[in-house]
Amino acid sequence: MTSISTKLLNESGLHARPAHLFVTTAQKYQSTIHVIKDDKKVDGKSILAILTLGASKNADIVIEAQGDDEKEAVTELGALIESNFGE
Amino acid sequence: MVRGIGISPGIIFGKAKTMIKNQVNLEKKNIEDRNEEIDRLVHAIASSKQQINEIAIKTRATIGESEAKIFEAHELILEDATLIDGIKDKINEEMVNAEYAVSVVAKQFMDIFDSMDDAYMKEKSADIKDVSDRIIRNLLGIEAWHLADNEDKVIIVAEDLTPSDTALLDKNKVLGFVTAVGGKTSHTAILARILEIPAISGIQGIMEKLHDGDDLILDGQEGIVIVNPSPDDIHDYQEKKKVYDNQLLLYKKYLNKPSITKDGKEVEIFANIGLPDDTDKVIANGAEGIGLFRTEFLFMNRKNLPTEQEQYEAYKDVATRLKGKPVVIRTLDIGGDKEVDYLHLQAELNPFLGYRAIRLCLDRKEIFMTQLRALLRASAYGNIKIMFPMISSVHELREAKQMLQEAKKALENEGILYNDTIELGMMIEVPSAAMMSDLLAKEVDFFSIGTNDLIQYMVAVDRGNEKIAHLYHEFNPGVLRMIKMVIDNAHEANIWVGMCGEAAANPYMLPLLLAMGLDEFSVCPSAVLELRYIMSKLSVDDIKSKLDTILMMAEEHAIEKYMEEYYDKHIN
């Protein structure tokens, strides 16, 4: 399993467009992907689940992936968050 | 009188028809065969998917592309792993019937979104309700509701109308609707406005206040319902309705008229479109042409690039339907905030200053060449003009023109017909292009000023950023002076210049643009007739004599106020 801890610095957190971007990126990978915030862990490929995290700006989250392409998945998703989703 | 929120304007008189949805039976039952129950669920989801897909197709055809997206989002909810797995787990673990499992799991999500107190999240909750109710009805084999054949010209009274209910309303039978649930920005409200069905929502206890067969007056502008009105009420509202309807009728009178000012100056009012289907609205509103065909919509919401043949057919379709009227087609403007998954564009820190539009096309030449070939092939069937977006240097323009030449040569070698004298233009939406519009004007046949981006780049304001949104202002004197400069430079070089941004449809901006000599206005189809009407009331010479004074004003708000007063004085 590969994981990364990161902070959401974009204005709208994991809302609307960023959440959509995150999920469509996650869906490209075979690995199972989870997003963890506080004590809640949800499926990183489900937009509804991601939205229920209510992860807004400055939230600390962890991305976890398990599978053949776990490293690539975590790297790309981490980079997406670092880039502030292009906001 | 009952008050609510007016979500779609218009005044109508009619009889109430209360609609109670065939209430779904949410009894919790214990089941014996898990697999059979999951099978039922899978079938109901498949039927729901098919129904929603049909609604999306119908909406795209009758209402519009962006409204159809509401239902594409609904299809995604039906595919959402967490939602569907949650329902399956519930059935498996608790041995309960599928409809009960759907209602419980959907409710959990709705509660979370409802508690978030954010318009976007509330809309998600409404979407989940629309979708989950549909699954449950499919499980039970019941219909939502429909009007009987003999029920026409009614005002629907219901606790709630979902977006999918609204998209399917038959305008011939339904005069308007009144509901308890929903706000101005809800999907239901957006659909009602586009369908031009007057509507009011936000009436608490609606089913107690309004009854089947009540005579109603509905004022969608004010959000007022008069129940069993007195003769005085009827008289008052008939007067109000006259004023409102006259306005609409007044605009309709300009349907087959030329766009001409009071003192005889002729201009062109074109319309903007996104998809070939929008052409119907262009024709219905009597536009003199299409000033902007945004081709990026042909590239969005799909899994791969559209082929040359697909594009050719779309362009040819529009050009043929316009019967020789001009159709300005903008080459691909993707990137920025418009996403296309299969292009695998990297997220950028500043997408609006990044890899987009002509920049992307000159880098991924195969995409651009395919589009240029399709455009040229279609040019044999109508009055197509090609326009390049986001040009910021002469070099870029020349490179794009070079590719157009190559495309022409290739078609010639293949013996394929195209219009050799096809007009070529470019958008003026980057300040550098505006500043050197004298140089660029020597290279093209026309300009179109794209105010949405031009203003954003000129005043350096990201419109998505609420803290600084007030700085984004089309009456900013810097913006106005630049627009004037572009028009002057174009005319100096004997080319025509249009405008295809939001500013072109602003009634207060119209006199200014006329005074500056803008040749063509391209606006959304529904604004064409209003603009033509306003134009007919204005004298170019009069406003021209005030132009210098206006361009010396230092504050955008002063200019806007001046123009509002000018408008009121001449139009009403």
Q: Is B77 on the interface with A (CB under 8 A)?
A: yes
Q: Which member of B74, B187, B361, B473 is catalytic?
A: B187
What is the pLDDT, as a whole number, of residue B537? 93
Cβ neighbors of B522 (< 8 A, separation 6 or more) are: B269, B270, B271, B272, B290, B291, B292, B328, B448, B498, B499, B500, B504
Predicted confidence band of residue B183 (pLDDT cuts 50, 70, 90)? confident
The CATH number of whichever domain residue A19 belongs to comes to 3.30.1340.10
- For the annotated binding site of B, the residues are 294, 330, 429, 452-453, 463
Chain A: residues touching B (Cβ < 8 Å): 11, 15-16, 21, 24, 42-43, 45-49, 51-52, 54, 79-80, 83-87
Residues whose CB falls within 8 Å of the CB of residue B114, separated by 6 or more in sequence, listed in order: B121, B122, B125
Of B82, B116, B347, Cβ closest to residue A48: B82
Q: What is the mean pLDDT of residues B202-224?
A: 92
d(CA B260, CA B270): 13
Which of B134-143, B147-156, B195-204, B406-415 has maximum average pLDDT? B406-415
Highest mean pLDDT among B119-128, B169-178, B234-243, B368-377: B368-377
The parent domain of residue A42 ranges over: 2-86
HSE, side-chain direction, 13 A CA sphere, residue B273: 26
B557-563, Cβ contacts within 8 angstroms, sequence gap of 24 or more: B557/B475, B559/B475, B559/B477, B559/B480, B560/B473, B560/B475, B560/B508, B563/B475, B563/B508, B563/B509, B563/B511, B563/B512
B381-391 in b/e form (b: 16+ CB < 10 A) is bbbbbbbbbbb
Residue B572 has pLDDT above 90, yes or no: no
Asked if B116 and A43 come within 8 Å (Cβ–Cβ), the reply is no
Q: Please identify which residue in the block is written with the tokens 């649930």.
A: B181
**What count of other Cβ atoms lies within 10 Å of the Cβ of residue A84?**
17
Task: Choose among B140, B161, B144: nearest CA to B22.
Answer: B144
What are the structural domains, with CATH classification, of chain B? Answer: 2-21+145-232 (3.50.30.10), 34-140 (1.10.274.10), 259-570 (3.20.20.60)
Contact with chain A for residue B88, Cβ under 8 A: no
Q: What is the pLDDT of residues B99-120, one digit of tens each?
A: 999 999 999 999 988 888 777 7
Q: Known catalytic residues of A?
A: 15
Q: DSSP 3-state assignment of B231?
A: helix
Residue B187 is a catalytic residue: yes
**Residue range B279-290, pLDDT digits in tens:** 888 988 899 999
At A74, list the tokens: 């975590």
pTM of the prediction?
A: 0.60
Given the structure tokens 């991924």, which residue do they identify?
A: B364
pLDDT band for position B252 (cuts 50, 70, 90): confident
For B347, the closest chain A residue by CA position comes to A86
Looking at residue B357, its pLDDT comes to 95
From the list B128, B347, B464, which residue is nearest A80 (CB)? B347
Instruction: Work out how many domains chain A is built from and give that number.
Output: 1
**Contacting residues of A for B124, CB less than 8 Å apart:** 48, 51
Could you identify the residue written with the tokens 């000033």? B291
pLDDT at B150 exceeding the cut of 80: no
Binding residue numbers of B for phosphoenolpyruvate:
294, 330, 452-453, 463
Beta-carbon contacts below 8 Å between A and B: 49
Judged by phi (left if over 0) then psi (alpha if -120 to 50, else beta), residue A14 lies in beta
What are the helix and strand counts (H, E) for chain B?
22, 16
Q: Is B148 on the interface with A (CB under 8 A)?
A: no
* B61 in contact with chain A, both atoms CB, cutoff 8 A: no
Structure tokens belonging to residue B6: 């007016």
Q: Is A83 within 8 Å of B349 when comparing Cβ atoms?
A: yes
What distance in Å separates residue A81's CA from the closest CA in chain B?
9
Candidate from A48, A54, A83 with C-beta closest to B83: A48
Per-residue pLDDT band at B378 (split at 50, 70, 90)? very high
- For chain A, say whether B339 makes contact (Cβ under 8 Å): yes
**Per-residue pLDDT at B274:** 83
In a 13 Å sphere around the CA of B398, the CA atoms on its Cβ side amount to 6
Q: Per the CB < 8 Å rule, is A84 touching B349? A: yes
Cβ(B528)–Cβ(B288) below 8 Å: no
Whether the CB-CB separation of B318 and B290 falls below 8 Å is answered with yes
The secondary structure of A21-77, three-state, reads HHHHHHCCCCCEEEEEECCEEEECCCHHHHHHCCCCCCCEEEEEEECCCHHHHHHHH
Quote the DSSP letter at residue B473.
-
- Residue B337 pLDDT > 70, yes or no? no
Q: B81: nearest CA in chain A?
A: A46
Summarised one tens digit per residue, pLDDT across range B71-102 is 988 998 999 989 999 999 999 999 999 999 99
Low-confidence ranges of chain A (pLDDT < 50): none
Q: Chain-centre distance of CA B208, in angstroms?
A: 36
ipTM: 0.81
The mean pLDDT of B115-134, rounded to a whole number, is: 85
Which of B14-23, B67-76, B218-227 has the lowest average pLDDT? B14-23
The alpha carbon of residue B343 is apart from the nearest alpha carbon of chain A, in Å, by 13
Q: What percent of chain B is predicted at pLDDT more than 70?
A: 98
| B25–chain A nearest CA distance, Å | 26
Give the Cα separation of B335 and B343 in Å (integer).
Answer: 10
pLDDT tens-digit readout, B219-245: 998 899 999 999 999 999 999 999 888
CB atoms within 10 A of CB B436: 14
Between B399 and B195, residue with greater pLDDT: B399
Q: Which of A24-28, B155-159, B180-184 has the lowest mean pLDDT?
A: B180-184
B87 touching A, CB under 8 A? no
Task: State which H helix or E strand residue B215 sits in.
Answer: strand B215-219
> What's chain B's average pLDDT?
91
